[in-house]
Amino acid sequence: MDASIDLQTTPRLRVVHLADHTGRLQVIFPENNMLDISAVSRLTKRRFEPVNHYHSSGDPLIKPNSVTTILEASMLKEAVFSIRTKVDGAYHDITSAELEAMFSGPLNRFEAISIDTSLINRPVDNHEHDEEQILQALGRFQSIRLKQRIEETLEIPPLPASSHRIIRLSTDKSAGTDELCDVIALDPSLAAQVISWASSPYYGAPGSIESVEDAIIRVLGYDMVMNLALGLSMGNGFQAPEDGPRHYEDFWLDSVSNAVLMESLVKAMPLQNRPKLGHAYLAGLLHNFGYLGISTILPPHFSILSRYQEANAHLPSELVEMQILHFTKEQLGSWLLRYWSLPDNIWMAIRYSKKPHYYGEHAMLAKLLFVSNQLRHNNPIEPSVLLEIGLTLEEAEDCRNAIYQKSAELHKMVALINKMNT
């Protein structure tokens, strides 16, 4: 193998290690493909799971003929590939003939085990067609009895009473601190969470916070408490998934980190561009609500989706979701939030949060969610998107880095949520 000169034009190969109770399997396929775990199971008559929970760069190559290896058959049609033997090593060119000779032993075989991602359908462009696409997708699941509407087809958990009260209060233009305190006080667990939030070292409020009123007036403000309480109460209505992707640390940690980063980004933006701070916080807190929805409403399919996400950590989550579910968590999450009558800008921002060039209604909040997601996953951000929200890359990264510096405080806040939800 020779060192690759032009890595951009040479297709890269991805190595993934799978295992079951009887042994290990190495699979090799083009990096722009998705590993089809079901195809591997059909070929081997075994149920494999990824060994490593998360490797966006792939696993190290195990020495040929020392472990059973299945390679994507379509690679034999290509001339040259680029591969690396170590996760952090350099890529090297290898021809298909060299690859075939290297893996010619009895432990190796070439089979169709991956899917060209260009062949995977994308979500519909307009949210008005989401329900139709989701229903068509559900029709593929034989265990689900389809009816005419999603809410008639799926067993959707009821929205907590506290969420209903807060949503109604949010539409009352004359409501103030007293009314909000009264609503939150009806749910002692929620009130305790809000007070603990305001008391956390993250906000560094002087003295002790004794009541929800204190939290509103002295620390968080009316809009922030309104939207924080709504996000917490909605999340409390769903059980955290037990069989999710094993690299996914914690639903609430992900949600809270995104919410506080959204808050920081809004404060750094030019005044004329800023959406409401409380709404930005709530959109960040609920950005992954579809993840909870899938795990609660479709647990068997969620488990399958989770294993695919582990094996295909190099791909955007929506591609894996479209292949397995035929809709995305953003589609389902935004539909649920719309069904429960949340403000339009919240569910629409979540629906279009993976589309940086969306220019419809509430586009600014959607772009902020996109930027926040890219920052947290160290993914590139187009300069034009940053220009539209009025921030430089350095300013956006400063916001993220400031959040990272307070990660210990955020973990303590999340621990409070998890403790109260058990």
pLDDT at 2: 41
Structure tokens at 38: 């079901």
Residue 377 belongs to a domain:
yes
Among residues 119, 145, 166, the one where a domain terminates is 119
Rounded Cα distance between 215 and 196, Å, is 9
Residue 229 belongs to a domain:
no
Alpha helices, H only, 154-221: 161-170, 177-185, 188-199, 212-214
Pairing of strands 49-50, 23-30: unpaired
pLDDT at 346: 95
Residue 394 belongs to a domain:
yes
pLDDT at 122: 95
CATH number at residue 380: 1.10.3210.10
pLDDT at 39: 97
pLDDT at 53: 67
pLDDT at 4: 37
Shared domain check, 144 and 108: no
pLDDT at 386: 96
Based on its alpha-carbon atoms, the radius of gyration of the chain, rounded to whole angstroms, reads 24
DSSP label at 192? H
The pTM of the full predicted model, rounded to 2 decimals, is: 0.89
Residue 108 belongs to a domain:
yes
Residue 180 belongs to a domain:
no
CA angle 388, 392, 393 (to 5 degrees): 110
**For the chain, what is the domain count?**
2
DSSP label at 186? T
Shared domain check, 97 and 50: yes
Residue 378 belongs to a domain:
yes
Structure tokens at 404: 């990272």
Residue 230 belongs to a domain:
no
Q: Of 226, 235, 225, whose CA–CA distance to 169 is shortest?
A: 226
Q: Of 318, 324, 327, 272, whose CA–CA distance to 303 is shortest?
A: 324
CATH number at residue 27: 3.90.960.10
Which residues have C-beta within 8 Å of that of residue 330, sequence separation ≥ 6? 123, 290, 318, 350, 351, 352, 353, 354
Q: DSSP letters along 357-382, please?
A: T--STTHHHHHHHHHHHHHHTT----
CA angle 54, 59, 64 (to 5 degrees): 155
Residue 106 belongs to a domain:
yes
Shared domain check, 327 and 248: yes
Q: DSSP letters along 210-248, please?
A: -SHHHIIIIII-HHHHHHHHHHHHHHHTSPPPSSS-TT-
Asked if 290 and 332 count as a contact pair (C-beta separation under 8 A), the reply is yes
Asked if 36 and 76 count as a contact pair (C-beta separation under 8 A), the reply is no
Shared domain check, 134 and 35: no
Pairing of strands 92-95, 33-35: unpaired
Q: At what angle do helices 222-236 and 251-268 cross, to 10 degrees?
A: 160
Shared domain check, 111 and 139: no
Asked if 243 and 365 count as a contact pair (C-beta separation under 8 A), the reply is no
Q: Is the dihedral of CA 339, 345, 347, 348 positive or negative?
A: positive
221-247 pLDDT per residue, tens: 999 899 999 988 888 777 766 766 665
**What burial class does residue 122 get, using C-beta atoms within 10 Å of its C-beta: 0-12 exposed, 13-18 middle, 19+ buried?**
exposed
Shared domain check, 93 and 69: yes
Question: 2 - beta bridge partners?
Answer: 93
Shared domain check, 294 and 409: yes
Shared domain check, 107 and 38: yes
Shared domain check, 132 and 77: no
Among residues 100, 119, 138, the one where a domain terminates is 119
pLDDT at 6: 42
SS3 35: strand
Shared domain check, 295 and 416: yes
**In which domain, by residue range, is 28 found?**
2-119
Shared domain check, 406 and 289: yes
SS3 251: helix
Among residues 92, 119, 146, the one where a domain terminates is 119
Residue ranges, the chain, pLDDT below 50: 1-7
Shared domain check, 44 and 135: no
